[in-house]
């Protein structure tokens, strides 16, 4: 690592609801595999979000997470930090929270509050409900050789993606993973795959962002 990235990094996991502990474990695994000095903390309040170097928005119930984040006045802070370049990984419900617009195939457009930083339209429950959960091997070139096991639980899909959004994975001809600059969104649960490559990607983005900030004199 460069001198700029040699300091300990802090990865935050939004701690309101969902696959919190699984993401903590996957992030710690990624740090260990990359031999990067860092810690993983739960964050809920704006002041906590100001101190982290990267963020994971876990899978779970997106409406519950969005509502609790709104109550704690966290959504504007998250949007600000992401716009400043803070790397973020949103999985399943986390991707829904990041999106600009959300539809449900039963009720149509939802009015849930989102962060809105990721230029995508998301369809909730695109592959069915809880009983329709499944796993499938995905080819994700950015993660290197070998398939990545996608765990889909009441999974959404991306129905529209903006021009700056890179499509990084599909399943059944549906978009299930995207990247837009410092944001990664997945319809599946990488924290449940027993494979930390997606979380390692987040760590690498955090290190790159730290190096860029040091070079430009914009360290937090």
The whole-number pLDDT of residue 99 equals 95
Instruction: Give CA–CA dist 187/172, Å, rounded.
Output: 13
Check if the beta carbon of residue 191 is closer than 8 Å to that of residue 26.
yes
Check if the beta carbon of residue 90 is closer than 8 Å to that of residue 97.
yes
How does pLDDT run across 54-109, given as a tens digit for each residue? 999 998 776 767 777 776 778 889 999 999 999 999 999 999 999 999 988 766 67
Instruction: Give CA–CA dist 93/69, Å, rounded.
Output: 13
Instruction: Give CA–CA dist 201/209, Å, rounded.
Output: 12
Check if the beta carbon of residue 19 is closer than 8 Å to that of residue 99.
no
> Where are the domains positioned within the chain?
9-216
Bridge partners (DSSP) listed for residue 38: 9
Between residues 216 and 104, the one the model is more confident about: 104
Among 1-5, 112-116, 176-180, the minimum mean pLDDT is found in 1-5
Structure-token pair, residue 15: 């701690």
Q: Burial level of 102, CB count in 10 A (0-12/13-18/19+)?
A: buried
Class of domain 9-216: alpha beta
Active site residues: 92, 189, 191
């Amino acid at each position: 690592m460069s001198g700029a990235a040699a300091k300990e990094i802090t990865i935050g996991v939004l701690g309101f609801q969902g696959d919190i502990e699984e993401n903590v474990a996957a992030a710690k695994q990624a740090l260990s595999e990359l031999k990067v000095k860092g810690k993983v903390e739960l964050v809920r309040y704006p002041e906590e979000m100001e101190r982290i170097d990267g963020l994971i928005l876990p899978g779970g119930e997106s409406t519950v997470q969005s509502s609790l984040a709104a109550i704690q006045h966290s959504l504007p802070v998250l949007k600000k930090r992401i716009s400043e370049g803070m790397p973020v990984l949103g999985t399943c419900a986390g991707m829904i929270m990041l999106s600009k617009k959300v539809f449900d195939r039963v009720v149509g457009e939802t009015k849930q509050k989102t962060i809105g930083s990721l230029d995508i339209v998301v369809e909730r429950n695109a592959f069915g409900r809880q009983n329709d959960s499944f796993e499938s091997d995905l080819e994700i070139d950015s993660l290197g050789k070998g398939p990545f096991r996608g765990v889909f639980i009441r999974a959404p899909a991306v129905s529209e993606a903006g021009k700056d959004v890179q499509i990084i994975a599909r399943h059944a001809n549906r978009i299930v993973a995207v990247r837009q600059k410092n944001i990664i969104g997945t319809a599946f649960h990488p924290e449940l795959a027993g494979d930390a490559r997606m979380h390692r990607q987040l760590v690498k983005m955090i290190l790159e962002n730290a190096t860029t900030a040091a070079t430009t004199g914009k360290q937090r």
